[in-house]
Amino acid sequence: MRCHVHTIPLPALLPTYAPYPFPILKGLGDTVFDDEGLAYWDFYGGHCVCATGHCHPAVVDAIAAQAEDLIFYSTAARIPLREQAAHALVEFADGPASVFFCNSGAEAVENALKIALKLTGRKAFLAFEGAFHGRTLLALSVTDDAKLRKDYETFLVPTTFLLFGDMGALDALDFTAFAAVILEPIQSMAGVKTADTAWFQAIRAKCEAAGALLIFDEVQTGFGRLGKPFASQVYGVQPDLSTCAKGIASGVPMGAVLLSGEVASQLKPGDLGSTFGGGPLACAALLATLSVIQSDGLMERAKEASQLIRDGLLGTVVSSVQGAGLLLGLRAEGGASALKKFLQSRRILVGGSGDPEVLRLMPPLNLSDEAIQALVDAVQEFSEVIP
């Protein structure tokens, strides 16, 4: 490898994404603040992370209290709080039997896919066009992004990609070669694409018939965002494994794999491992997050807020609102990029997607009526001034 002399100083922090043109120093509820004290309505939610809003007092208190007792110890020690968090999550999810804690969505997907390879002995996966499951190698194997995959193709597990939501393509395919079928119940990065309940049920049936495991990637759809604890309850389909992260601990890094009893019973100690997975701070934040979601009625609020947004944007440049709950895509043909810039000029933060015509909303579940009205007013204003 050749060494190069850099004449331009490199930043200490390696650039990844293009950031907002302002720093964020503080957050409160559905609002973040820059270094000048200006407030921004956060419909991006730190990329679908801040389920209970920024710095919810109950979450802050739980983290602070735990930090005074025990910041960290690995799974070499039994920590009652970790067991309490696992029990609470399994109970909230209402279907899985066990949970494996890790640190991120990609790590959760990586472990779920490893489990499928181990238990089935098969060497291929089925995923869907437009899928995004992460950047680690197994997760990248099932991610449909040529730009991200191109430098690593040699190391990726063979994966077949079908059209998302297409029943005909599903019916024509034999599942017996696949260790697992993995899907996002709503394809967020692809532009907030949805599918019919019958399609999910057909996949469940085909997996059972072929002995393939079904994995729901609920990293963005979980923790009440769709108005239910998880999308599996929205569609009435129970997967063998579910992956979680994002809103799981209100911003404290954490991931989890939820396992059915049949899957969990086939694993033995040592098959999975994580030094930081299920750390005390993360578990305290998870417990507080679950408590807030339920005590503050945030699942019902997600449905109410979703309907207010849909109703408010009728007749604007937004031709349709896709998705469910508070994982929404605003379709604005020919004007999505300009609309995003306009909203930011009105101090409203939204996300882009792989579809250049669709903007994404992934706000806190305790999104206020005031924030929704600000969004509606800004989109209506934009609709009046565009040519």
Average pLDDT over residues 214-232: 98
Residue recorded with tokens 């999104």: 367
> What DSSP element (H or E) covers 326?
none
As given in the structure block, the two tokens for residue 13 are 């922090």
> Whole-prediction pTM value?
0.96
User: How far, in Å, are 70, 114, 131, 320 from residue 109 at the CA level?
Assistant: 28, 9, 13, 31
**Does position 48 have pLDDT exceeding 80, yes or no?**
yes
Residue recorded with tokens 């004290």: 37
Sketch the domain layout of the chain as residue ranges: 26-55+297-385, 57-295
- Topology of the domain covering 26-55+297-385: Aspartate Aminotransferase, domain 1 (3.90.1150)
Mean pLDDT in the chain?
96
As given in the structure block, the two tokens for residue 316 are 């604007």
Read off the pLDDT of residues 339-355 as tens digits, 9 standing for 90 and up. Answer: 999 999 999 999 999 99
How far is 147 from 140, CA to CA, in rounded Å?
A: 11
Cβ of 238: how many Cβ atoms within 10 Å? Answer: 17
Which residues share a beta bridge with 366?
Answer: none
User: Please, are residues 342 and 382 in contact by the beta-carbon 8 Å criterion?
Assistant: yes
Q: What is the CATH architecture assignment of 57-295?
A: 3-Layer(aba) Sandwich (3.40)
Closest to 250 in 3D by CA, of 23, 20, 29: 29
Read off the pLDDT of residues 173-212 as tens digits, 9 standing for 90 and up. Answer: 999 999 999 999 999 999 999 999 999 999 999 999 999 9
Closest to 230 in 3D by CA, of 325, 296, 157, 148: 325
Using pLDDT thresholds of 50, 70 and 90, give the confidence band for residue 385: confident
Q: How far is CA 168 from the centre of its chain?
A: 28
Angle between helices 80-93 and 280-295 (to 10 degrees): 40
Give the pLDDT score at 387. Answer: 65
Average pLDDT over residues 296-301: 98
Using pLDDT thresholds of 50, 70 and 90, give the confidence band for residue 332: very high
Sign of CA dihedral 223, 259, 179, 210: negative
